A = this chain, B = another copy of it.
Amino acid sequence: MRTLKYAILGLVNRKSMTGYDISKEFGEELINFWSAKHSQIYPELKKLVDEGLLEYKIEITGDVLEKKVYTVTEKGRQDFLEWLAKDEKIEPTPKDQFRLRSYFSQALEPAIYQKLLESQLDQRKKKLAKLNRLFLQYQQVPPFGSDKFGDYSVLAGARIREEANIKWLELCLEAVRAEIKE
């Protein structure tokens, strides 16, 4: 489906950027729903240029360091917009290694499974706290159409998702603790 293609096109459509910039973006808000290493990004950029969806011009930083600053072509913008408006079927449930462990947990000592759950819960709570800190910057919902709406929306989604993870872990913990007490 070449989703990375559209992620890149979407980013460059908002603002001209280098491969390095794109790589950094994948480490920030985008981490909540997409990511790619630079070893995947650079070849994809080359491909997009070959396909006429992106162009670049070289800028010099300092004395000699070359930066390739990418811009979308009209063709690229059209391709992106077409993808963006597509009404797709919901994706299959994402894989989750800890849930796989949970599925097999009856093969484990309850006390061990409890430890695993507590460790997960601790990490999830820290992650949620981080998301909550980021969320503070929004006093209210930014209007749709402002460049902040997307950021807000996916951040709100990440919080809700993390809250659900925590809710589930707490439900499991309760069941295991009830078992141990008996």
Contacts and interface: CB of A to CB of B under 8 A. Distances in A.
A112 B85 CA distance: 7
B92 A35 contact: yes
A173 to B, nearest CB: 11
A98 B87 CA distance: 9
Interface residues of A, number: 77
Given A90-B127, A123-B89, A84 B104 contact: yes
Interface stretch (A49-57, A59-67, A163-171): A163-171
A20 interface: no
A115 B103 contact: no
Contacts of A143: 179
A124 interface: yes
A145 B144 CA distance: 49
A164 B10 CA distance: 26
A178 B167 CA distance: 30
Interface of A: 1, 3, 6-7, 10, 13-14, 29-35, 80-81, 84-85, 87-108, 110, 112-113, 115-116, 119-120, 123-124, 127, 141, 143-147, 149-151, 153-154, 156-158, 160-161, 163-165, 167-168, 171-172, 175-176, 178-179
